[in-house]
Every structure is written in structure tokens, then in C-alpha cells.
Amino acid sequence: MAAHRCCFPVWLFILCSFSLFIIAGSQETTVAPEQHASVLDNPQTAAETAEQTAGESGGVEERRWEGTEVRDAAAQKQAEPAVLQPTPQPKDDFQEELVVRPLHSGDIYASFQFRTLWETDFMRGNKVSHYRLFPKSLGQVISKFSVRELHISFTQGYWRTMQWGQPYLPSPPGAELWVWFQDSVTDVDATWKELTNVLSGIFCASLNFIDSTNTVQPSASFKPLGIGNVTDHRFLRYATLPREIVCTENLTPWKKLLPCGSKAGLAVLLKSEKLFHSSFHSQAVHIRPVCQDWQCKTTSWELRQTLNVVFDLHNSGQGKREWSLFKMFSRTLTEACPLASSSKIYIDITDNPEGEQFELSPATSLLSQAMVLGDRRTFSVYDLTQQDTFGSVRSLNLLIRWKSTEGDMLRPLLHAERYVAGYGLQTGEIHTLMYNHHPYRSFPVLLLDSVPWYLRLYIHTLTVTSKGKDNKPSYIHYQPSKDRVRPHLLEMLVQLPPNSVTEVTVQFERALLKWTEYTPDPNHGFYVGSSVISSLVPSTVAMDTNSTRERPLFSSFFPCKEESSYFVRVYTEPLLVNLPTPDFSMPYNVICLTCTVVAVGYGSLYNLLTRSFQIEEPSPGLAKRIANVIRKMRGFPGTMG
């Protein structure tokens, strides 16, 4: 309990910084100038850097800096976790953006985000019936099931952190759903069950397979991302379906939730034949309440639809390393969504400040800088609401042509992997490896494992070792499984020493199930959902204390809060575990044979219980027997002895 209490400030901090990173990602936010003067400091620094870069590149073109703000986490903490627009604005608002990041492996990472914000209140009994930008189906779900926050993601493929770095929005393979309910909900489990069935219909997914056997209530790993500081995890439900296969039928309903559908704006690019011909595909919907202003008197609902794709152009690029919007999506852009208040494309050019790695065309003069995942990134910005973005051909086809293949990526500071050890179908051991690549700083991580009941975990075999030494977790929350009712839940707070591998092992026993409980392909194995590792990772920017950037000396002694650490969630691989199987072809035989044995047992006992023993008379000889028969026939009573 004490550990739990200690965690709380840490969590508040995680929460704040996570919301910071999200907000930093969304570029439209502006801050009331009187709120904190220190904010001005950063764009200024950024501007200086930009000037410097421009100067160095010999003034190729004059670059403009977008009014981006990198916000101070401390100031953030004072205000509400999610501070948003000043009041004068339309009742609802829609923004869309696409971020493209060329990855060092030669792949391309494209991340779409569509954000609908609506000043309304689904709760408090008022019936909301007039919908404009916000999808009605989701609005009704929110009000009917008293949802406070809803996060759902469908992912095909596994994000390779070591090759690709951290994703903007992490998600585990398969489907993941986590929901915070309002504290007015009395029967959370029933509501959850109903909600999953409704969502299953909305997204054409097998979410109806979510039941109590794969639902858990994490105590620390999943905190609300929106406003509200309810941390009673009785109102939280988390479930994953690692087996879920994501395809077109999930994309179509997802696109229908967009105000413009796939008719205009960035959504035009979302053609399934290309999207699913990729190494990684993940689509998600996040709903949360956010503040309308910094005083947070009223709340709005934010719907964020995200779609992340990694294209493997290296293989399909016919030998040439170049990509364009047309090549990736087989479409070009011609207009922004008319309903969108902002529609932008960001290209990550941090590794390419002078264009030595790749060439970007058409060139843009608009630049933006943001703190993303602990790193200061620079982006080229294309504003689709501006007509001149489309040029004379009235269509935008971004093109990146690679010049050199070298260039190294900064290793992600935190990454994890997991596997099953052991042989045979009786027992096994789950190994989770967590890597801290930070050269000198240790940091705590929260590990969440949800293991189905048919792998019976033995918590007394849990070991956590780093650098060959026992590393005792400071907080363990363990909920053992109940057969056919609920899964195991294991949450641990582990301190990862600098530059180390921490190995968590736990033994399990494989259960034999009833023959009807197996999947149609039982010998394929059973999936175990990804472990979730959540952490505040010291940022890479703060790593170089001997700062090479031009900064005043007085500003660089203490690590700046906004740069010191950032929130990361890492998902490990799902596991595929084989279970012993009965012979599915012979239920009748087994029933017959076993019943026979029981009947034999019963029969032999019954026989002996009812039988009475008699002393057998010595059998008379043949002559006597004949004589007896004759006597009987002649009418003499009795027999001769």
C-alpha cells in the first residue's frame, strides 16, 4: 500500500507529461500569454536554432517557423492536464494531420490523426440529439454507457522498436480496448460486456470475444488521459484480443466516423488495398474529456482517430529508394477536408537538416519544431488549407528521394521483448526482457502482464534479475486467475539500472481444457496478449549535459523539466503457446469406455452385495443322478444323498 501511495505523484507526473506530448503533437494550441512567461523562452531558442541552420545551409531559402510552442511541464502541472483553446471558437472543431517519418531502416512511417472536439456534455441527463461533426454512433455509446474515456486500437503486425524507434501512438498487435467508466456506473461488468458488444458492431470486429476471461483491471498502468482525477481502478476495464486480425472491414467503419468520410481531405489517402500492403498497420479511436479553457470550467469531448502505417518501400520500390504519396497510397491530395479547421502534413526532417539524406519535393518553407518522445524534432509543414500548397497542378504529391543510405538512429532508450522457454506441454516459463539503453540513468518501469487462466502462473517462481543480481520490485499487484472466469494480472514496478537488461521470469503450467474450449485450430496454439511496459524515460535531449546547442550558460545547468523525461508505453510481442489437447474425434468412445469401467466396478460390487454363498454339496455321481430322476418321475419325494 505504501508503494502504491508513493507511486501516485509519479503517476500524476506521467499523466501530465503524456498529455504534454499529445498536446505538443497537436500544433494548433496557443497559450494565453499571461499564463506563463517562460513559455516564450522556447520558441525563441528554437527560432535561434532555425536561424543558425538557415545560416549554415547558405540561405537556400528563407524558412519560416510556425508558431509552435513547446510547453513547460511544470507550468503544465499547475494548470489542468489538458488545457485547450481559448473560448471564442465554434461549438465543434475538426482537425486533421499526417506525419511522415522516414525511418532509418528505409521504411516510411505515416501517422494520420483526426481530431474532433465538441463542446457538449453527454452526461448530466441532457439528451444530445443534434450531431454535426462528432459521429452519432460514438456519442450515443458515450452517453448510454456512461463512458469517461475510451481507447480502442486495431493493429496488424508488430512495431519493431529497435528498427523503427518509438511510435507516436503505441499499440499491441490485435485489438486493445480500455475504458474508464463514470463513477455513477453501478454494475461495471455488465456495462462493459454490453459496451464491447456494441463496439463490436460499430467496428465490425470480434470485440464480443471480450469477456471476463480476458478483462483485467490494472491498478497503475492505465491512468485516465483526459481530465478528471478518478483513479479508482474499479471503473477501469482493459482487454486485449491478440488474435484479432485487422482488415478492410474494420477500416471502412472507422473511416465512416470521419466528418468528411474518405471523400475529401487526408482521408482520401486511406485506400485499403495499399494500407494493408504494409509491414505495420494500426488504427485507433481515442475518446476523452478535455478542458475547454485553462480554467477548465466546462469540458469538451475529444475524439481522436489515428491511423499508423509503416510501408516497406525498400522491398517494393523496384530498387529505387524513393517514395511519394502516390506510391504509398495510390492517391494524391487535392484539397483539405472542407470541415476541417486545420489540415496539415508534417515531414520529419530532423535527420536531414541540410538535405544530405533525402530530397523533399515540393519544397516548403514552413518549418515546425516539437518535442516528441523526448527528442526535439524538426518538421516541414504543408498546410492543406492554403491553396498555394497544391501548386499549379492543383494536386499535392509529396516526394522523398533518398540520397544516401547511411545515418544511424538513436537507439530507443527503452525496449522490451518476451518469449516462452521450456519444452513439452506440461510446464513452461515466460521470460520478459526489458532493456534500458540509457548510459547512466536508471528509471522505474511499470510492467503489466495479463495471462489467460489456462496458463497457471506460479507467482512464487517469479524472479527479476538485472546485471546478474536480484532486483526486487518495489510494488507488486498480483491477482491470481480463476478457472474460466478471469485471467492472471501481474503488475510490477521495477527499477531498471542504467545500460542493463532486466529479465523477469515466471513459470506456468499448461492446463488441459474441455474439448469445446479449444479454438478450431487448437494445434496452432493460444495467444497471450502483449505485456505493457509504461515508463517515464529520461529524454535523449537531457542526456547530453554538455550541451552542444547554443544556449546561455545560466539556462543549462539544471535539467529543464520539459526535457527531462517523457512518457513511453512499450508493448512486447504476444506469445503463442501450445496446450495439450485431447483427441477431438472420440468423445463418444471416451464416454462409453469410461462408463464401462464404472459399470464394471458397480457390477462387481453389486454382484457381491447380492450374492449369498452356499457350501457346494459334493456332486453325486451319474448313476445316482439318474436314479434321482427316476425317483422323481415315479413320484417319490426328496432325493437320494
Partner 1 sequence: MSGLPGFLIDDRLHFPSCPSQGGQRFLVEMAAPLTLLLVLAVTIRAALFRSSLAELIAERVEVVSPITAWKRVVEGLALLDLGVSPYSGDVFHETPLIIYLFHFVVDYAEITFMLADVITAVALYMAVKDYNKQVFRKQKFALEADRYPLDCLELIRSPKEMYYIPLKVAMFYLLNPFTILSCVAKSTCGLNNAVVALFIFSTIKGNTLLSAIFLCLATYQSIYPLTLCAPAMLYLMQRQYIPVNFRRASFWWFIAQYLFMYLGSLFVLICLSFFLLGSWDYMPSVYGFILSVPDLTPNIGLFWYFFAEMFEHFRLFFLCVFQINVFFYTIPLSVKLKEHPVFLIFMQLAVISIFKSYPTVGDIALYMAFLPVWSHLYRFLRNTFLVSCVLLACSTLFPVLWHLWIYAGSANSNFYYAITLLFNVAQVGQPGRSQRRLLIESLTETPCSPLRKSQNEKSY
| Contacting positions for partner 1 (CB under 8 A) | 423-427, 453, 456-460, 476, 478-484, 488, 509, 511-516, 580-583, 586-587, 590-591, 593-594, 597-598, 600-602, 604-605, 607-609, 611, 613-615, 641
Closest distance to partner 1 from the beta carbon of 615 (Å): 5
Closest distance to partner 1 from the beta carbon of 596 (Å): 9
Type of residue numbered 146? S
> Where are any strands of DSSP class E within 205-298?
215-216, 236-241, 280-291
Query: What's the CA angle centered on 575, arms 573 and 576, to 5 degrees?
Result: 140
Closest distance to partner 1 from the beta carbon of 422 (Å): 11
Nearer to partner 1, 553 or 609 (CB): 609
| Distance set, CA 225 to CA 82, 149, 151, 534, 567 (Å) | 8, 8, 10, 14, 12
Nearer to partner 1, 409 or 598 (CB): 598
End-to-end CA distance of the chain: 92
Nearer to partner 1, 67 or 580 (CB): 580
Nearer to partner 1, 263 or 484 (CB): 484
Residues 6 or more apart whose Cβ sits within 8 Å of residue 610? none
Nearer to partner 1, 37 or 609 (CB): 609
Closest distance to partner 1 from the beta carbon of 224 (Å): 26
Pairing of strands 532-538, 443-451: antiparallel
- What is the CB neighbour count within 10 angstroms for residue 461? 12
> Where are any strands of DSSP class E within 565-635?
565-571, 575-577
Nearer to partner 1, 422 or 559 (CB): 422
User: What does the block give as the cell for 641?
Assistant: 444323498
CA–CA gap between residue 302 and residue 133 (Å, rounded): 11
Closest distance to partner 1 from the beta carbon of 173 (Å): 27
Closest distance to partner 1 from the beta carbon of 572 (Å): 23
Name the DSSP letter for residue 193. H
Of the candidates 602, 589, 597, 533, which has an alpha carbon nearest to the alpha carbon of residue 218?
533
User: What does the block give as the cell for 328?
Assistant: 504509398
Nearer to partner 1, 609 or 623 (CB): 609
Location of C-alpha cell 448510454: 144
Query: What's the CA angle centered on 90, arms 87 and 92, to 5 degrees?
Result: 110
CA–CA gap between residue 174 and residue 282 (Å, rounded): 9
User: CA 212, 217, 223, 229 torsion: positive or negative?
Assistant: positive
User: What does the block give as the cell for 534?
Assistant: 509504461
Pairing of strands 469-470, 475-479: unpaired
Closest distance to partner 1 from the beta carbon of 587 (Å): 4
Closest distance to partner 1 from the beta carbon of 451 (Å): 12
Nearer to partner 1, 270 or 446 (CB): 446
What share of residues in the chain are helix, strand, coil (percent, to 5)?
25, 30, 45
Closest distance to partner 1 from the beta carbon of 580 (Å): 6
Nearer to partner 1, 130 or 514 (CB): 514
Nearer to partner 1, 440 or 613 (CB): 613
Pairing of strands 280-291, 475-479: unpaired
Name the DSSP letter for residue 262. T
Closest distance to partner 1 from the beta carbon of 595 (Å): 8
User: What does the block give as the cell for 606?
Assistant: 453389486
Closest distance to partner 1 from the beta carbon of 456 (Å): 6
Nearer to partner 1, 292 or 507 (CB): 507
CA–CA gap between residue 358 and residue 381 (Å, rounded): 16
CA–CA gap between residue 585 and residue 161 (Å, rounded): 44
Residues 6 or more apart whose Cβ sits within 8 Å of residue 389? 364, 382, 383, 396
Nearer to partner 1, 597 or 623 (CB): 597
Helix or strand (DSSP H, E) at 255? helix 248-256
Closest distance to partner 1 from the beta carbon of 253 (Å): 34
Closest distance to partner 1 from the beta carbon of 491 (Å): 12
Closest distance to partner 1 from the beta carbon of 220 (Å): 16
Query: What's the CA angle centered on 346, arms 340 and 351, to 5 degrees?
Result: 170
CA–CA gap between residue 282 and residue 170 (Å, rounded): 9
Nearer to partner 1, 19 or 221 (CB): 221
Nearer to partner 1, 44 or 639 (CB): 639
Helix 188-203 vs helix 136-145: angle between axes, to the nearest 10 degrees?
170
